Amino acid sequence: MDAQNQDQSSSLLPIPREEWAAPLHAARKKFLQLALVTGVAARSAGQFSYVRLRHWYYRPTHATSSGALSTHALETLLALVDAFLGLPFERARYADFFAWRARKLAGHRALYEQLAGALDRMATAAGARDFLGADPAIRRRIVARCTRGTKRRWMRWLIAIADRDARRVQSYVLDPVAELYAQTDAWIALGYDAWPGMSRGLEAYRRPNRAPAAASRSWTDAT
Amino acid sequence: MDRRDVAIIGSGIAATAIAWTLVKQGHRVTLFEKGPFGVDPPVRQFQELFRYGYRDPAHEAPRDLKALTVSGEYRHDLNDERVMAVGGSATRWAAISLRMRPEDFRTRTLYDFGNDWPLTYDEIEPYYCRAETLLGVSGDDAGNPFAPPRSRPYPLPPFEPGHADLALSERLGRCGIRLHTTPQARARVDYDGRPACENIGLCTLCPTGARYTPNHHLERLGATGRCTVIANAAVRRIVTDRAGRAEAIVYRPNDEMCDIEHGANVVILAAGGIESPRLLLLSADDHHPNGLGNNSGQVGANFTMHHSWSGVLNYPEPVYGGRIGAVTTQCHQFRDPPGRGRHGGVRIDLSSNFLGDLPSTRGSRSGAEIVERMRSLPFRRGLIFEAESVPDPGKRVTLSNASDRFGDRLAHVQYAANDFDHRTYGFVCELFDRLAEASGGEKAALKRADEFHSGWHHMSACRMGEDPRTSVVDSYGRVHGVSNLYVAGAGTFAGTSGAVSPTLTIVALALRTADVIANQIHTTKINSGPFAIGRSSK
């Protein structure tokens, strides 16, 4: 028996170290990587609540673009507000609202532009040049498709799952518009002489409520 | 190690009142705030929220640093009730600035509930006057027979009752219920660089600065060169020396990896009713194994909150509530009622600025539907019943098992109403019935007993008292056993502040604490005693 064979036979392992150590090292590395990924995934899953999941699923768009809105898109959105509300509203306030959100909030410009394009396509399909050129009745019909509310919970779920775009339009366009309207113009529609957010002074509230004061200054608009 | 005179943890209304007093007397002060700087007045935030419907999270500390865990039966988001930004929660407050009544300081003696305070109304009264001057409180006690005595008039005239308030006041008056104006830190006329209120009405973020926020004074303090605010930095613990005195605080900028030790001759903990006890507990060391001031296990043990229930009365004719943002009328008649002790006292907020929970407009399909959902608005009047409560073993602040980004355990709040609270709710129901009957209103809604709201008032977790076995600090806020560590804020209250908002009492106590600290620093400077300034750094 030569020295080499003697060495090999005295070894605890039948194969040289360099032959078994490398794959074992790789396996351990792979195991550690897997454990790390599993750990991180488990930790994330624990923190990934239903609310976050819903927010992710219905977020405005997967793109994160923000920036100036095209004039056509802005005009189309204002026509959408008109068709949605069906009541008088202060146009400049809503134009400012859309322009600011498009500029500042992630994904909103893309969402607004896509929505304007979709409205145009639906209007074209209905025989109009685009949404802006469509008859008010057609506009209302198109908007109604985005607001098909239902009192049945299972139906709401179905719509929410099956028609994510409609849900996005409701959540990120129509609901914020409704909230803005409720905070401002709706007060006038209810018979108030002003709405909170205007500089109303410290005299008027001590007198009986009067008809809407057209001359009242809007504090937010003034700044 | 940097060494300065006074380190204040927190930058809210208590911290600012102390800093203002000390800096005016020539001392150097550094404030540490976990959240970012804000601007006074918060025009940008106001516009983002009310004009564009967006709440920017960047105006507050990151969510993993501003967090806590809760158990028990409190149904609202307790974390949302704390503002972690320069200026603290008083950047969003309603500005109601009421004094406690003399009886509120002696409820154990007089009514056999709660705890007596280690100071009397007479002792704090001069500080109430100073607090009213500092905050610019508009008020008048002329029509309020239930107001506590005062040695000085309010610095500003009151906000008068509105048209709808007068009609309601007349109806209630016929049934023996008195309404009156409400003192508030909202400028009725120009005051101390703040403009008179314009009645914009969205007062949580007053865009003109008429309503007081601590930033009004913090910006001036910065200009003196003797006051520094270190924002976006989390204080992790207070360090004590071998003699058991606070000698430094350890903080870490929110986005950095290393701690910084900041030496101080006096440390003031003014981080709010929940964060202050948390930091005392996190600061455990060899000399204080259970946390600072916690030799008797009292830190966090006496935590309590106000219990507020809102209700709505509907009237057959429009009353047009909501035409004023300021708080006009309240009723203090039941703050100290005959049944007090069996149940708590109650303050009733009947101001026409409150309309109750507004209807949701989500999912609306048209403007007409939105208006229809809001149809009851002109006919309704919201009420808030704010009641005192008592500490209880079921109410406590401890350390959570969850941690923040630095590995420091968060605060955990356990809160459950007790029998006293339930009896108080019964009293509230009686009052609601009386008000409805007397005013001719239809009871539209009243929150259930378990739907109580704290009013953002987190109190008593570092309770004051003379006996270290049953309290954490003395009447000046000085932590038992750590002579140069103070706690300021509602956390030091001996219980709730009666049935009134705690803020004016917080500021009055803070001014009292500041006087003591200034006096001690001054004395020891001369005598080279333990408060000597300019000790060599480590």
Cβ–Cβ below 8 Å for A101 and B51: no
Distance from CA of A142 to the nearest CA of B (A): 12
The dihedral built from the CA positions of residue B486, B491, B493 and B495, taken in this order, carries a sign that is: negative
Nearest CA in chain A to B375: A190
Q: What is the mean pLDDT of residues B102-115?
A: 96
Cα B538 from Cα B529, distance rounded (Å): 19
Cβ–Cβ below 8 Å for A202 and B159: yes
Q: How many CB atoms lie within 10 A of CB A135?
A: 12
Cβ–Cβ below 8 Å for B198 and A205: no
- pLDDT > 90: percent of chain B: 89
Confidence band, pLDDT 50/70/90 cuts, at residue B355: confident
Average pLDDT value for chain B: 93
Q: What is the mean pLDDT of residues B45-55?
A: 93
State the DSSP code for A213: -
Nearest CA in chain B to A85: B367
SS3 B269: strand
Residues of A in contact with B403 (CB under 8 A): none
How far CA B133 is from CA of A138, B137, B230, B511, in Å, comes to 62, 7, 27, 12
Residues of B in contact with A190 (CB under 8 A): 371, 374-375, 377-378
Give the pLDDT of residue B169.
94
Written as six digits, the tokens of A11 are 């070894």
CA angle B28, B33, B35 (to 5 degrees): 150
Which of A166, A148, A173 shows the shortest CA–CA distance to A81?
A: A173
Written as six digits, the tokens of B232 are 């976006």
Distance from CA of B365 to the nearest CA of A (A): 6
Confidence band, pLDDT 50/70/90 cuts, at residue A59: low
The answer to whether residue A212 scores a pLDDT higher than 80 is no
Comparing A101-110, A137-146, B512-521, the range with the smallest average pLDDT is A137-146
SS3 B453: strand
Distance from CA of A182 to the nearest CA of B (A): 7
SS3 B44: helix
Query: In this predicted complex, what is the ipTM?
Result: 0.88
Give the pLDDT of residue B224.
95
Give the pLDDT of residue A12.
40
Q: What is the mean pLDDT of residues B287-315?
A: 96
Nearest CA in chain B to A179: B361
Give the pLDDT of residue A43.
60
The answer to whether residue B254 scores a pLDDT higher than 50 is yes
The answer to whether residue A45 scores a pLDDT higher than 60 is no
Distance from CA of B14 to the nearest CA of A (A): 30
pLDDT digit string (tens) for B161-211?
999 899 999 999 999 999 999 999 999 999 999 999 999 999 999 999 999
Give the pLDDT of residue B537.
33
Distance from CA of B404 to the nearest CA of A (A): 14
Residues of A in contact with B367 (CB under 8 A): 84-87, 89, 181, 185-186, 189
Cβ–Cβ below 8 Å for A175 and B46: no
Chain B contact probe: residue of A202, A203, A209, A223 with most B CBs at under 10 A: A202
The answer to whether residue B419 scores a pLDDT higher than 60 is yes
Confidence band, pLDDT 50/70/90 cuts, at residue A223: very low
Cβ–Cβ below 8 Å for B367 and A84: yes
Which of B484, B472, B119, B522 shows the shortest CA–CA distance to B268?
A: B484
The answer to whether residue B401 scores a pLDDT higher than 70 is yes
Give the pLDDT of residue A168.
82
Residues of B in contact with A175 (CB under 8 A): 361-364
Q: What is the largest CA-CA distance in chain A?
A: 117
The answer to whether residue B473 scores a pLDDT higher than 60 is yes
Query: Considering CB atoms only, which of A144, A180, A193 is closest to B53?
Result: A180
Cβ–Cβ below 8 Å for B362 and A204: no
- In order, the DSSP letters of A31-53 are HHHHHHHHHHHHHHHHH--HHHH
- Amino acid residing at B338: P
Residues 6 or more apart whose Cβ sits within 8 Å of residue B441? B313, B314, B315, B381, B435
Q: How many CB atoms lie within 10 A of CB A130?
A: 17
Residues of A in contact with B370 (CB under 8 A): 85, 178, 181-182, 186
Cβ–Cβ below 8 Å for A181 and B43: no
The residues facing B68 across adjacent strands are B411
Confidence band, pLDDT 50/70/90 cuts, at residue A77: very high
The answer to whether residue B109 scores a pLDDT higher than 80 is yes
Q: What is the mean pLDDT of residues A3-32?
A: 54
State the DSSP code for B320: -
Query: Considering CB atoms only, which of B52, B200, B362 is closest to A199?
Result: B200
Q: What is the mean pLDDT of residues B132-150?
A: 96
Cβ–Cβ below 8 Å for B362 and A208: no
